[in-house]
């Protein structure tokens, strides 16, 4: 039963991250998830200083608020400061992370406040964090319900706003011309990314969240030029990554999160080599064909 809990939770998180990752990759903002995972540190510290509690929910609220702020700052520096997207991402998360380190160093003497112990989780612990009702009934892992709710929210967001998200991703100039606010939909997308990454940290760990946000969509991108197919392939890869990663970890008796990230990277490598259109072998064949014609 523990295996089912872990694989299901990993799949739910992977699908939510992967669907949003498809938009991030096409917008050339794939590292936003990594930026948020570093930038939320001051939010954790401030949440403790304000509430005086190390409760995970309080920490998640603080981290989520800073995560949304991070996305706003990245866009602000990009639009108003004229920085490239990668530069604005780098500037934002480094100084916010540094601010968090300073706050921890100042208040570490009063409390054991560390981002690893209050927020970042490990997917192997999912079966241990149970939701127990007031009547004593065990409903299953709490992370399973959180991940499921987040996934439903993300699917509804993408479904209801698909036209706007699609246009602002592929042709922002045309979207603006027909009255769609590119800035609004950018911030909505970034807020969804922030919600998904922060809510998933405690369940599966920050490293796995970043891997799932990038690797499955990047793999799907190499396998098709159709965006809807890319989304469906990402969903399939997300489930496959979670399942194969778990059993690889069991076989090696190693880290489950590390094994899932490894499988995500392996699938990307296979697509990079064997993709029928953009793979190395396909490109080499086209080069040989062009050479033979000349």
Model pLDDT for residues 259-279, shown as the tens digit of each residue? 999 999 999 999 999 888 777
Whose tokens are 């996934």? That residue is 151
For residue 126, pLDDT over 70 is answered with yes
Q: Quick one: CA dihedral 68, 73, 79, 82, positive or negative?
A: negative
pLDDT per residue over 196-208, tens digit each? 888 887 778 777 8
pLDDT per residue over 206-223, tens digit each? 778 888 999 999 999 999
Residue range 151-165: mean pLDDT, rounded: 94
What pLDDT was estimated at residue 111?
53
Among 53-62, 213-222, 232-241, the minimum mean pLDDT is found in: 53-62
**Pairwise pLDDT comparison (20 vs 276), residue with the higher score:** 20
Among 18-32, 87-101, 117-131, the minimum mean pLDDT is found in: 117-131
d(CA 196, CA 267): 23
Domain 2-293 annotated CATH 1.10.3470.10: yes
Q: Quick one: CA dihedral 254, 256, 258, 260, positive or negative?
A: positive
Residue spans per domain, the chain: 2-293
What pLDDT was estimated at residue 196?
86
The predicted model scores a pTM of 0.86
């Amino acid at each position: 039963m523990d295996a089912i809990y872990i694989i299901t939770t990993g799949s739910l998180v992977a699908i939510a991250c992967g669907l949003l990752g498809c938009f991030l990759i096409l917008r050339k903002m794939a590292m936003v998830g990594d930026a948020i995972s570093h930038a939320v540190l001051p939010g954790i510290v401030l949440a403790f200083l304000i509430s005086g509690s190390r409760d995970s929910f309080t920490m998640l609220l603080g981290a989520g608020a800073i995560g949304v702020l991070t996305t706003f700052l990245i866009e602000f520096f990009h639009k108003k400061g004229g920085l490239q997207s990668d530069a604005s991402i780098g500037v934002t998360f480094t100084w916010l992370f540094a601010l968090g380190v300073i706050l921890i160093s100042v208040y570490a003497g009063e409390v054991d406040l560390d981002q690893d112990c209050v927020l970042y989780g490990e997917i192997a612990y999912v079966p241990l964090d149970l939701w127990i009702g007031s009547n004593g009934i065990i409903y299953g892992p709490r992370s399973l319900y959180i991940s499921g709710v987040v996934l439903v929210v993300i699917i509804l967001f993408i479904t209801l706003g698909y036209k706007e998200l699609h246009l602002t991703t592929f042709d922002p100039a045309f979207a603006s011309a027909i009255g769609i606010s590119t800035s609004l939909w950018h911030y909505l997308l970034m807020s969804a990314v922030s919600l998904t990454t922060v809510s998933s940290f405690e369940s599966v760990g920050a490293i796995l969240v970043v891997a799932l946000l990038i690797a499955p969509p990047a793999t799907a991108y190499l396998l098709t030029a159709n965006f809807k197919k890319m989304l469906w392939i990402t969903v399939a890869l997300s489930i496959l990554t979670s399942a194969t990663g778990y059993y690889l970890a069991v076989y090696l008796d190693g880290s489950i999160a590390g094994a899932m990230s490894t499988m995500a990277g392996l699938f990307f490598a296979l697509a990079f080599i064997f993709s029928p259109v953009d793979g190395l072998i396909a490109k080499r064949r086209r080069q040989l064909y062009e050479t033979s014609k000349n």
